[in-house]
Amino acid sequence: MLPADITRTVLELPVEERLELARRLVESVVSPAVLNEAVAEGIRRIEDIAAGRTAGLTEEQFRAALK
């Protein structure tokens, strides 16, 4: 399967399954023992957005924050 095919397939998964896959992918390149607080915080923030506990940014707000 090509990366584009995998991406399309993964994006069709429910949010919870995509989050679990994201966690596994991060842990596959960064040892869980070495997983630093910044990555853990990023994962917590993604989960907060997916669960509706925190509102995400629009693309416009994100781009403005980068300036």
pLDDT at residue 57, as a whole number: 84
The predicted model scores a pTM of 0.47
Q: Are 30 and 9 in contact (CB under 8 A)?
A: no
Buried b (16+ CB within 10 A) or exposed e, 34-67: eeeeeeeeebeebbeeeeeeeeeeeeeeeeeeee
Report d(CA 63, CA 65) in Å as an integer: 5
> φ and ψ at 7, to 5 degrees?
-60, -50
Q: Are 21 and 10 in contact (CB under 8 A)?
A: yes
Q: Where are the domains of the chain?
A: 3-66
Q: Would you place residue 9 in the very low, low, confident or very high pLDDT band (cuts 50, 70, 90)?
A: very high
